[in-house]
Every structure is written in structure tokens, then in C-alpha cells.
Amino acid sequence: MAAQENLQRAAVLVAPSKNPEFNVQLVPRPVPGPNEVLVRLSLTSICGSDYGLASGELGETRTILGHEGVGRVVELGSGVPAIDPSVQVGQRVGVGWARDACGACGWCTTLAQDGETRCAERVTSGRVVDGTFAEYTVVPARYLCRIPAAYDGVPDEHVAPVCCGGVTAYKAIKGCGVVPGRWIAVSGAGGGVGALAVAFARAMGYRVVGVDAGADKGRFCLEQGAEHFVDITALAAGEDPGPEVRRLTGTEGVDAVIVTSGAAAAYQAAFSMLGPFGTLMCVGLPPADRLVHFHPAMCVAFGWQVKGSAVGTRRDILEALEFVRRGLVTPRTEWGRLEDMTTLLENVVRGKILGKYVIKLDGEDSSKTTEAPAS
Ligand SMILES: [Zn+2]
Ligand SMILES: [Zn+2]
């Protein structure tokens, strides 16, 4: 179905709920302001946090979610040629979680900490501005994530998952500052971000132990490059996975645990996996009322650090894409359709998809998108 002029197809969130429903509607195509560009999205993938948004857990949202998009600039706002003549129609771009950075707040101006992704204005995709579950989106010219021509050989379905899941995984690993060759644990390793964290960590030279629930996820983690897998469903209820992590890795504990799970219990368990001077890297977000406990003595006596990582800068996206271009990381994907968003997101939250759903938005290859996903 070709969109009529000035209209576009979008998967629209009907109402936020624990079982969010979407339907495909023809809605007005966005019009770029003077300092913005219009992007024709060719593909989007689905991130786990789209469920957090759709369920209302992360607060108020827009009705068009999505923040792993890829497309090309098709129209320039009237002021863009004067602001930045290098922005051209036809430029390939990625569209991630962070949609703008003010450049002036305390986060943005802390360049050494890559503060742009924590901008005080927090213009985020699907929450403050419409997301990528649509044919078009507008992006401020000053915050374009340009994908250089050197990446033209990387297909959209491998670029999009890097725009949030991949860069989040890559940046979290980078932020641990661990020496390559050392052990890293990924908790929630069978999830969308977790599996990418396993693959990136392996490609970046680390040894990886995955922690998650179930044999399917275990096989998936090993395929992605983990050397070992700890299946928490194989432990006794409430049993601490730390000793098994130490036994499998032959260490006093790993140098870093990247927690991509949103379960408070996964955070609690992560402490027991840490070795000397270990870093616990927070990525997954438990519900706001679920707290994690630790005693300061852990940091004093063992030199542990607790840090958090938030997606990544546009530079990080390109660094992560370089691993994909070189064939060292290939996101595992399954095709879905915009029409099936309700089911797709349900499969994501229930852990029924290994890897990422990718959805074509330009309709050029309907053969790939005619099969409804198994639910
Ligand atoms: Zn995301
Ligand atoms: Zn800012």
C-alpha cells in the first residue's frame, strides 16, 4: 500500500498497557522545521525498551515508538544549507534513542564523558519525539547520525540493531575499561542487548561467560561467542550463580559484569560474580520500585565499581558498525511486519525471539515480510 501524499504508514500505539496493542494507520507525514531534515526510513528494528515505553513503565510516550531506524535524508529544512552545507539529500543516516543534544547543558559540555547521550533536554525517540515505527521521521541537522558511504555494503538490517542495542552493548563494554583477554560476564546474555554484548565483547578480545535462563538462550550465547553459559534455571531456587561463574572461568571472579537484564535479582546476583577491582556495569532497567542492595564495604574492601552506561554517541555507533562491516559481529535478525507489531513486541518481552526483529518500511521487498511471525 503506497502512502498517499503527505501521509505515511505508521504502527500506532493504541494505549499503553501491560499488553500493548498497535495498529497500522495512515498519519500525517512530519514536516521538517527550518533546522531539521526529513528522513525516509527504510527499516527499523525493535528494542526491548520499546516494550518498557509501550507498557507505560517508562512514563509518558508518543504513540509512534521505535529507536533503531535507518534511512536516507529526503528533504532539508529551509535553514539547513546555511547551518551545515555538508548535509545533503541522499545521506544515509541512523536514528537511535537520543534524537538531539542541546550542546549547552552540563552533560553535553562534559565532552570527556561523552555527555551528549545524557543531555538535560532528553529528546528521546518515542518518548519526546515520534519514533521509527513509521515511514518518515524528522531529525535536527545538528544531531544527524551520518552513516558514511564506507558502510554502504552493510545492509540496513545489520545497521539498525546497532543504533540502540548494538551501541548500548559496545559502549557498556568499552566503559568497563577492562584489558582485552580478561573475563567479562554478561547477565541477560540471551536478550536483545545481551546477545550483542556477548558478540561485541568477544570481537573486542574478551573472554565471555553468559548468564541467562534456559537452554535455548544458552545455545544462542555460545553461538554469539560466549565460552561458557550459566543457566540460572539449572540452579536451585535462590542459588547464587557466582560460584559457578568462578568455577567455569577459573578465576576469583570476572573483571566486569554487564547487566543487560531488567531484573533486580540479576543485579543482586552480579555482585557475587565480580573479582578483584571488578566493575558492575548497569544497562538493563528494573521497574522503578525495584531496588538493589549493596554494602559500601564491597567497594572499600574489593575495589569494586558500580557504573552505568546509556546508549552511545554517534561516534560510538560508527565504532560499533565497524565491527559489523568487518564481519566480526553480525546481529541475528528475523523479519517482521509493521502490521504485526503487537505480536512482535509480545514475543520480544517474552523472550521468544533470539536476536532482533527487523521491519522493512519501504515495501520494496514484500516477499520477506509476508509471513506472520509465530507467536
Ligand atoms: Zn533501545
Ligand atoms: Zn544538553
CATH number at residue 11: 3.90.180.10
pLDDT digits (tens, 9 = 90+) for 122-165: 899 999 999 999 999 999 999 999 999 999 999 999 999 999 99
CATH number of domain containing 219: 3.40.50.720
Amino acid identity of residue 96, one-letter, is: G
Q: Could you tell me the residue range of the domain that residue 238 belongs to?
A: 166-308
Question: Comparing C-alpha atoms, which of 116, 113, 151, 133 is closest to residue 47?
Answer: 133
353 and 247 assigned to the same domain: no
**How far lies 246's CA from each of 206, 222, 224, 299, in Å?**
16, 18, 21, 19
Cα 51 to middle of ligand 1, angstroms: 10
Distance CA 65, CA 49 (A): 10
Q: What is the pLDDT of residue 368?
A: 44
- SS3 annotation, 68-127: CEEEEEEEECCCHHHHCCCCCCCCEEEECCECCCCCCCCCCCCHHHCHHHHCCCCCEECC
Q: Is residue 159 part of a domain?
A: no
* Confidence label for 364 from pLDDT (cuts 50, 70 and 90): low
34 and 97 assigned to the same domain: yes
124 and 217 assigned to the same domain: no
78 and 204 assigned to the same domain: no
For the chain, the domain total comes to 2
pLDDT digits (tens, 9 = 90+) for 176-225: 999 999 999 999 999 999 999 999 999 999 999 999 999 999 999 999 99
126 and 210 assigned to the same domain: no
Distance CA 72, CA 96 (A): 14
Q: What is the pLDDT of residue 4?
A: 64
Cα 99 to middle of ligand 1, angstroms: 12
The conformation of residue 55, written as its DSSP 8-state character, comes to T
291 and 217 assigned to the same domain: yes
CB distance 144 to 93 below 8 Å: yes
The conformation of residue 235, written as its DSSP 8-state character, comes to S
Q: Is residue 316 part of a domain?
A: no
142 and 170 assigned to the same domain: no
208 and 238 assigned to the same domain: yes
Q: Is the pLDDT of residue 369 over 50?
A: no
- Shortest-distance ligand to the CA of residue 102: 2
Q: Would you state the torsion angle of the CA atoms of residues 151, 203, 285, 242, taken in this order, to the nearest 10 degrees?
A: 170
Q: Is the pLDDT of residue 370 over 50?
A: no
- Which residues fall within 8 angstroms of residue 232, CB to CB, at 6 or more apart? 211, 212, 213, 241, 269
107 and 220 assigned to the same domain: no
Cα 312 to middle of ligand 2, angstroms: 14
- Shortest-distance ligand to the CA of residue 47: 1
Q: Is residue 48 part of a domain?
A: yes
Q: What is the pTM of this model?
A: 0.94
Q: Is residue 151 part of a domain?
A: no
Cα 165 to middle of ligand 2, angstroms: 22
Q: Is residue 323 part of a domain?
A: no
pLDDT digits (tens, 9 = 90+) for 278-303: 999 999 998 888 999 999 999 999 99
Q: Is residue 153 part of a domain?
A: no
The 10 Å CB-count burial string (b at 16+, else e) for 358-371 is bbbbeeeeeeebee
- Shortest-distance ligand to the CA of residue 162: 1
Q: Which residues pair with 333 in a beta bridge?
A: 356
Cα 68 to middle of ligand 2, angstroms: 21
CB distance 141 to 77 below 8 Å: yes
Distance CA 97, CA 42 (A): 17
171 and 302 assigned to the same domain: yes
Q: Is residue 326 part of a domain?
A: no
Q: Is residue 296 part of a domain?
A: yes
98 and 200 assigned to the same domain: no
Cα 163 to middle of ligand 2, angstroms: 20
176 and 66 assigned to the same domain: no
